[in-house]
């Protein structure tokens, strides 16, 4: 699958499993180590469009930054949520497989296979 991109955290078991599932099918996606190379706000907006979800749906609510930044506040708008994820990439759910104009969050990891059709 040419043009596949995986937002990946090698320390995350779900992310490693998603990569293994792809590799078992002969797919070597381009890896984006998003903790070291965080997407900017424009890239996050594009990713959200491909995922077809609202910014809050991409947040990892169990991370310390979620509470520290008060991200549970329903008054925060999408711009504030996106800016927080750009500044604190640990807040971004993972893994995310992107193929063409579509993307999927690999939770559970088998969801990445949805883009293989």
DSSP 3-state of 102? strand
Query: Annotated active-site positions, please?
Result: 12
CA-wise closest residue to 61 among 27, 93, 84, 105: 93
Phi-psi region of 4 (alpha: psi -120 to 50; beta: other; left: phi over 0): beta
C-beta of residue 3 within 8 angstroms of C-beta of residue 99: yes
Reading the chain (117 residues) residue by residue, the pLDDT tens digits are 358 999 999 999 999 999 999 999 999 999 999 999 999 999 999 999 999 999 999 999 999 999 999 999 999 999 999 999 999 999 999 999 999 999 999 999 999 999 987
**Residue 107, domain CATH:** 3.40.30.10
Domain range for 42: 4-116
Q: Give the number of domains in the chain.
A: 1
pTM of the model: 0.93
């Amino acid at each position: 699958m040419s043009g596949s991109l995986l937002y990946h955290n090698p320390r995350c078991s779900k992310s490693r499993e998603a990569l293994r599932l792809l590799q078992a099918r002969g797919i070597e996606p381009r890896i984006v180590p998003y903790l070291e190379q965080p997407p900017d706000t424009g890239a996050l907006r594009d990713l959200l469009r491909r995922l077809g979800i609202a910014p809050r749906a991409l947040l990892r609510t169990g991370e310390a930054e979620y509470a520290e930044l008060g991200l549970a506040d329903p008054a925060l708008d999408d711009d504030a949520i996106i800016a927080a994820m750009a500044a604190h990439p640990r807040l971004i759910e993972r893994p995310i497989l992107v193929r063409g104009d579509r993307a999927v969050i690999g939770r559970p990891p088998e969801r990445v296979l949805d883009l293989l059709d």
